[in-house]
Structure 1
Amino acid sequence: MDCANQIVSRIDGVLIRELRKNTDSRGWLIELFRKDEIDPNIMPVMAYISMTRPGVIRGPHEHKEQTDNICFFGPSVFKIQLWDNRDNSPTSGKTQVIEAGEKNPLAISIPPGVVHAYKNVGVRDGLVFNAPDRLYGGEGKSQEVDEIRHEDKKDARFKISF
């Protein structure tokens, strides 16, 4: 999809979009996803929001089939690290660190096989919105969860660099 607010990623298949914060006297509004701005192959099928406390890391983990469509918009600041763990990718082995949050709201689409983690590097609790293209645990939560949790492995090679 052609999107004017797209940022080039160093990892093939990762899509990064700037999110525009529309502010007025009532507060602000951010459009997280629009049907005309997202590839129909990774269209979200569910959504959730999580809160991460300052200094806390979530991940690193990856998915075999799922694309995560994650939005970082505040009210804190996050550092996100990506590792291309796909053998058949032109950017296999590359890593990328991105900063996003209140002053730099971003949407990041992370394809299967790209390991990802994020840390709240701000001083306030931060909200993260995710709209993956697969149901967590499948229909009726009756299937195995599509997640490889590297954070549970003592010898994992994916370590946050910040």
Structure 2
Amino acid sequence: MNWQEGPIAGCIIRPLRRFEDSRGWLAEFFRQDELDPTVYPVMGYLSLTHPGVTRGPHEHRKQTDLFVFFHGQLRLYLWDTRPDAPTYGYRQVLDVGEVNPVIVLVPPGVVHAYRNTGTEPALLINCPNQLYAGWGRKEAVDEIRHENRPDHPFTMD
């Protein structure tokens, strides 16, 4: 597939505002008054990615991810595979992390991946709106792992 570069409908990308003082800094990344209730987080996790490592590309059928990129250097890739979306066939690439701290809301059907492009481990937070493997970890995982297919069309520069 030939991807068109540009922003993807339904993906929210918002800069993290850091409030700094002599003790350090703090940044809000989730507020109920800024998100639709259907995408409120139901869990959260912290992830460390080593330099040169790529996670993804993968997508979810129902889950919306709310990523917080604030540490290290990462390149985020988004591909819109939703046939009914106005941005179907679009790809968006962003450099995120310490230099560009952002929150990114990734809706179902948007394939996503990120790579640590720095020389140090990178940390991120994800607060999805679905429980991993469902309540009590007893359901199928909502994940389509394209990285397991050598012929996937989701190329990263």
1:139-161 CA deviation, whole Å, 9 max, x = no partner?
Answer: 00000000000001111111212
Aligned to 1:25: 22
Secondary structure of 1:103's match? Answer: coil
1:88-129 CA deviation, whole Å, 9 max, x = no partner?
Answer: 111101100011111210000000000000011112111010
- State percent identity of aligned pairs: 51
Aligned to 2:152: 156
Unaligned runs of 5+ in 2: 1-5
* Maintained 8 Å contact 1:20/1:30: yes
- Residue 138 in 1 paired to residue 134 in 2? yes
Aligned to 2:101: 105
Secondary structure of 2:70's match? Answer: strand
- Residue 44 in 1 paired to residue 41 in 2? yes
Aligned to 2:56: 59
Aligned to 1:71: 68
Aligned to 1:3: none
CA distance in 1, matches of 2:21, 2:49: 27
Q: Please say which of residues 139-148 and 25-34 is displaced more in the overlay.
A: 25-34
* Maintained 8 Å contact 1:85/1:113: yes
Deviation at 1:39, TM superposition (A): 1.5
Secondary structure of 1:100's match? Answer: strand
* Maintained 8 Å contact 1:60/1:159: no
Aligned to 1:15: 12
Deviation at 1:14, TM superposition (A): 0.5
1:16-36 CA deviation, whole Å, 9 max, x = no partner?
Answer: 111011111111111111111
- Residue 34 in 1 paired to residue 31 in 2? yes
What TM-score, normalized by structure 2, do the two folds share? 0.94
Aligned to 1:83: 79
Size of the aligned set, in residue pairs, is 152
